[in-house]
Amino acid sequence: MHITLKQLRVFVSITQVGTLTAAAERLNLTKPAISMALRELESQLGWPLFDRFRNRLVLNQHGQQLLPWADEMLTREAMLPQVLNDPLAGGTLAIGASRTIGVYLLPALLADFRRETGHRQQRVWVSHTTAVCAALTRFELDVALVEGDAIDPRELEPIAWMGDSLCVLAPVDHPLVGRGVLPLAALEGESWLIRESGSGSREQFFALIGSRLQHCAISLELNSAEALLHAVAAGLGLACLSRLAAADALALGRVRELPLEMALDRRFYIVLHRHKYRGPLLSRFIEHCRSFSLPTH
């Protein structure tokens, strides 16, 4: 059996983009070359790796067994040129982050990681929790930093990370502003601004607040914390956001907090694929994340 890195690279690309045409564009190869490499790999192994459905290739059981092994081989190959001199210098670290973490926490974490290790090759993708975890499942990312609890434990390993707190935000002229600590019942009948489907903040709003109210009207869905803050300031409704995201708006007086009798605590997670190869660089980044804390002012 003679399996080449090119064949494995083609195989992994197809699993990530779903078609021969898209894989050819990603790898800067012709579609016939991609098709031939896949046929050769399947011939070497003695079984198909994909089920053909219309124009798409869907990973089958054999392909699922090969994918972690192929990803590890390609990861090791990318690290090889420098790993003998410096295990942390070789390769690019692909990091996914949910939006609150990616915007308000990850920049400081990466700056600290670069100062500590000298590693400069990071690729960051910021989206909502569900999309980031899906990309991690497809081996498009090395690690994910997310704020949601809806993580499939069959393929992904969530590691409890740092704590975070949410706060309820209102326009500055809202009638509940200035009335002290409120019971949750005081929010009955209010209109809410929420994040888009797949967002960890949306998931936790419904878990902590929305599911406990008899009347929870949704006024608007938006896909960023900053958009929510502007909408709250404009009087379109209340919102529940991380204090990380709300800190500047609260300090500038753009919105006001409605303190509640109940705690609105949640946890961030470091998420890894259970079958992902964890080389020195990835292991060092995970260690750094676990020891990192934002500076207090």
Cross-strand bridge partners of residue 182: 260
Assess whether 285 and 261 both reside in one domain.
no
**What mean pLDDT is reported for the chain?**
90
Per-residue b or e along 20-59, where b marks 16 or more CB atoms closer than 10 Å to that residue's CB:
bebbbeebebeeeebbebbebbbeebeeebbeeeeeebeb
Q: Which amino acid is at 293?
A: S
Q: 111 in a domain, yes or no?
A: yes
| Residue with the larger pLDDT of the pair 91 and 159 | 159
Do 192 and 116 share a domain, yes or no?
no
- The per-residue pLDDT for 1 is 66
Bridge partners, residue 158, by sequence:
271
Q: What is the average pLDDT across 210-231? A: 94
CATH of the domain at 239: 3.40.190.10
Cα–Cα distance, 262 to 244 (Å, whole number): 19
- 183, 210 contact by CB (below 8 A): no
What mean pLDDT do residues 39-56 have? 87
pLDDT score, position 125: 97
Count of domains forming the chain: 3
Structural domain contains residue 88 = no
Whether residues 134 and 273 share a domain: the answer is yes
Verify that 135 and 248 share a domain, yes or no: no
DSSP 3-state assignment of 151? coil
Assigned token pair, 296: 């207090």
Per the model's pLDDT, the better-predicted residue between 232 and 58 turns out to be: 232
Is 251 found in the same domain as 207?
Answer: yes
In a domain? residue 214: yes
Residue 296 included in any domain = no
Residue type, 67: L
Query: Are 284 and 151 within one domain?
Result: yes
Residues 207 and 278 reside in one and the same domain:
no
234-287 confidence digits (pLDDT tens): 999 999 999 999 999 999 999 999 999 999 999 999 999 998 888 888 999 999
Is the pLDDT at 59 greater than 70, yes or no?
yes
Structural domain of 51: 5-83
pLDDT of residue 200: 86
In percent, the amount of the chain with pLDDT more than 70 equals 94
Asked whether residue 22 falls in the same domain as residue 50, the answer is yes
Residue 297 pLDDT > 60: no
pLDDT in tens, 61-113: 899 889 988 988 888 787 666 555 565 655 789 999 999 999 999 999 999 99
Distance in angstroms (rounded) separating the CA atoms of residues 91 and 83 = 9
Does residue 123 lie within any of the structural domains?
yes
What pLDDT score was predicted for residue 54?
75
User: pLDDT value at position 154?
Assistant: 85
Is residue 246 a part of any domain in this protein?
yes
Say yes or no to pLDDT of 8 above 90: yes
Structure confidence at residue 183 (pLDDT): 96
Measured on CA atoms in the order 80, 84, 85, 87, is the torsion positive or negative?
Answer: positive
